[in-house]
Chains A and B, each alone.
Chain A
Amino acid sequence: MRAASWGALLLALAGLALAQTPSDDPRGVVGPPRGQPLQGAALETRTKQVAALLRCPVCQGLSVADSPSPTAQNMKAHVRELVAAGYDQDQILAYFERSYGEFVRLEPARRGVNWLVWIAPVAGLLLGVGVVLFALRSPKPAPTAAAGVDPLSLPEDPRLAAYMLKVRELAYGWPGGVPPRPESR
């Protein structure tokens, strides 16, 4: 029993010692590699992909992949090493985030309040589509009297009708306000 508790203490101490592994060792920061070690063309492709997600800290809005600055080149070399060792994209981004903060990510990490940035545009678009659909489906106003009525009809009130005829006579030059009928042959 006593031996067992001593053993547990030793294990705990060993754990502490492991937890104190140097923080420039990626294993101590993000754990063992989660992916496959890469080499050759696959290594270059993957390095470029991951470097494109890292902000060059000495540039203005450039990615590490796009910047020719020595700092970015050094970071890219570091990314290449990590990819070659089998670290996956999330691990590499987390590794650099530990030094530079979240600012080093060109895309906000999908977590916490950051989800707003990812979801809000899609939600806004869906809301907009919804509003448009709603507006299109809502009942149209009742057709007004103007539609579907013969433009040459006359009001029932004889005085009004007389005025209308007069106006047509003056405006269009129709004798008596009556349109000339096409002569039938």
Chain B
Amino acid sequence: MNRRVLVAGALVVLPLLAVLVMNLGRDPHSIRSPLIGRPAPPFELRPVGGGGPRSLASLRGKPVVLNFWATWCMPCLEEHAALTAGARRYEPGVQFLGIVYDDEEARATSFLKQRGSSYPSLMDEGGRTAIVYGVAGVPETYFIDASGKVVSKYAGPLSPEVLAALVREAGGAS
């Protein structure tokens, strides 16, 4: 009788334990973006520091590197040099765009003045574009191919190597 109870208990508990152990150490936030393989959500946003609105649709035919960032985000600071250099390197075949996430325009302006920039950053009022892209923190970078399809998403600071690989994957010349 005791053995039967033990076996029945093990049958119930072991699969549960297996599920828990399998997912141990996995960050639930790092799931694959459902946008990958689908058309990138369109947007039309005003650049930091003024000027006419920039739209994704106007960039059709060119791979786009779309980087969500904020001045309060340390990893964004970390990757800033790689992105600035990357934008210069892949010009004019690949368009780099920044989207300011949950930050003030004045701060973004002074950040860019101080650290330099080689591509436009756009203001996302109300965070609507970030929501549509499913941004769950900064920095996050979306790689969009010439047909306007999302090819990949990278969460965290980009190194020049990773950036080069993902640009190549999106069809950008290297």
Contacts and interface: CB of A to CB of B under 8 A. Distances in A.
Interface of A: 20, 22-24, 57-58, 70-71, 74-75, 77-78, 96-101, 103-104
Given A100-B134, A101-B32, A24 B102 contact: no
Q: Which of B33, B38, B130: most chain A CB closer than 10 A?
A: B130
Contacts of A20: 39
B42 A58 contact: no
Contact of B39 (A23, A75, A78, A100): A23
Contacts, number: 64
A101 to B, nearest CB: 5
Contact of A22 (B29, B34, B42, B102): B42
B127 A71 contact: yes
A86 B162 CA distance: 43
A100 B135 CA distance: 8
B134 A71 contact: no
Contacts of B39: 20, 23
Contacts of B146: none
B96 to A, nearest CB: 21
A77 B130 CA distance: 13
Given A23-B41, A70-B102, A101-B31, A57 B126 contact: no
Given A23-B39, A71-B136, A99-B34, 4 more contacts: A78-B128, A96-B131, A100-B134, A103-B29
A20 B60 CA distance: 14
Nearest to B129: A24
B127 A101 contact: no
